[in-house]
Structure 1
Amino acid sequence: MTDHLPLVDGHIVYVPMSGKRSRNPDWVGLHHVEDYSEFAGKATIKTTGGMLLQLNICGMSLQKKVHDGSFMSEFHLGIITNTVRRYGSFKVDSSKAGITNKFIHCSCRFHSLIPRSEEEVHQFWSNLFTVLFNELAKSDVTMSVAKSFRVISSLFNKVRRW
């Protein structure tokens, strides 16, 4: 994903309606969208409240924007669901999801990354923190990368236990 990233909180998904060159894109809440179509640089969006919106979308694919937003929503919900599962049951209310479920059966390379088990969530967090710690350690010029990584890991573990 190279454009502005969607803003995601579960099924609440806002996608930007422009590319990365635009500083102030319009944002559309996919959870408020019932249907959409695109033709000749124009998008027609039907909201769950029955309104019709028409937007200029020159140089971008609305289908890709919806796909990316839906993927990030599913990824977010996959992490939450599999993390909370160990503490009890967790039911996602998708009654107001709009079209955020449109690509739920997609088998693209992005959707194959969605965590389906607790182990995959653990691996995701482990990989994320390793990358973050390595990046933080690179900028620390007073210590070696290995020592800096150990110090940052130790601090993180103290905070996590606290």
Structure 2
Amino acid sequence: MIKNIECLYLHETFEIDEKMIAVISLDKKYAQYGRSIIIHAEQGVFLIDRTTKQLMNTFNKINRGGILYSKVVAEISLIKRNIPLVNGTTLYMPMTGSSKFSADWIGLHMIEEFKQTQKIANFTTIFGEKINLDFPQGNLSGRLHDACYFSEFHIDAWIISTESMHGTAVFSAHAGLVRQFVGCNCATHLTLPKKFADVTIFTDSITLRVLKEFSKDDVEVSFVESYKVKLRRLSKMKSI
């Protein structure tokens, strides 16, 4: 693919969406062409002039919370590296875990099969296309297991929350590799939400992280605590 880079067009106005199959970082020697390559289910293969990190930092356009949701799930599960981006069955996994560099990303909801060949991850898309990405460290199956957990957590929390309002959550019937570890009984999967109280802990953690972000430059540390008290008061019924 790299040898044909001159044949690719630069998509100057591309906005992130869930139809991306892969987001690949370009080496600096190709900077004259662009900074990333996108493999897209509908728009084909093209270049963008943003790094993969800059593009994936706009994931909030898909799930509103960006990586915040994943950070909270990571704290609950104690998964500290290679944190994916998730919105239900839409799941993007980084191929490397370092925040110092722009990683390659793969959309697991767009992948049908995988295998690891030494330090290369071989993926087959739901359309039958082959994509090979560098996978410098780790076990690919284990990495996929941890990434899919984030989607399962998001989905289970969504279902429990919706059912608490007597509603029904509906997800895509085909989710690629995303649902392949459902039913796993490992220690990580035991932390999946099982009741509404578990979902409340998740949403409270998100609220707390937001409040801390707003208050991190304030002189008074009590800012967060005062707002937590106010939130509790607002959640209680008041006499009319």
Q: What is the TM-score with the length of structure 1 in the denominator?
A: 0.80
Give the corresponding residue for 2:105.
27
Q: For residue 152 of structure 1, what is the aligned residue in structure 2?
A: 227
Cα distance, 1:29 vs. partner? 0.3
Post-superposition offset of 1:23:
1.2
Q: How does 1:96-111 map to 2 (within 5 A)?
A: 96-111=174-189
Letter in structure 2 aligned against 1:95: A
Once the 2 structures are TM-superposed, how far is the Cα of residue 83 of structure 1 from its aligned partner?
0.8
Letter in 1 for 2:128: G
Q: 1:68 to 1:87 in 2, by over 3 A?
A: same
Task: Identify if the C-alpha distance between structure 1 residues 87 and 5 changes in structure 2 by more than 3 Å, giving closer, same or farther.
Answer: same
Cα gap change, 1:151/1:44 in structure 2, threshold over 3 Å: closer, same or farther? Answer: same
> Within 5 Å, which residues of 2 pair with 1:61-140?
61-126=139-204, 129=207, 140=218
Query: Is it true that 1:44 corresponds to 2:122 in the alignment?
Result: yes
In structure 2, relative to structure 1, the CA distance for the partners of 1:61 and 1:159 (3 Å cut) is farther
| 1:11 corresponding residue in structure 2 | 89
Give 1:136 deviation, angstroms: 7.4
Partner of 1:55, secondary structure, is strand
**Deviation of 1:103 (Å):** 0.9
CA gap of 1:33–1:159, structure 2 versus 1, over 3 A, is: farther
Cα distance 1:52–1:160, how it changes in 2: closer, same or farther (>3 A)? farther
Pair 1:22–1:42, CA change in 2 (3 A):
farther
The corresponding residue for 1:57 is 135
Structure 2, unmatched stretches of 5+, are: 1-78
Q: CA deviation at 1:16?
A: 0.5
Does the 8 Å CA contact 1:18/1:60 hold for their aligned counterparts? no
TM-fit CA distance, 1:97: 0.8
What's the offset of the Cα at 1:80? 0.9
Residue correspondences, number: 158
Per-residue Cα deviation, 1:85-107 (whole angstroms, up to 9, x for no partner):
12223133242211101111111
Would the aligned equivalents of 2:212 and 2:224 in 1 still touch at CA under 8 Å?
Answer: yes
Closer/same/farther in 2, CA of residues 130 and 17 from structure 1, 3 Å limit: closer
Which whole-Å CA distance do the structure 1 matches of 2:118 and 2:226 have between them? Answer: 55
Deviation at residue 132 of structure 1 after TM alignment: 6.7
Bigger helix share: 1
Aligned partners of 2:119 and 2:134 also within 8 Å: yes
SS of the residue 2:197 aligns to: helix
Root mean square deviation, CA, Å: 2.9
The more displaced of 149-158 and 20-29 is 149-158
Larger relative contact order (CA 8 Å, sep ≥ 6): 1
Identity fraction in percent = 25
Per-residue deviation, 1:129: 4.8
The secondary structure found in structure 1 opposite 2:164 is: helix
Superposition deviation, residue 118 in structure 1: 1.5
In 1: Cα distance, 2:207 partner to 2:153 partner: 17
Q: 1:24 to 1:114 in 2, by over 3 A?
A: same
Whether the 8 Å contact between 2:119 and 2:135 is mirrored in structure 1 is yes
Q: Shift in Å at residue 35 of structure 1?
A: 0.7
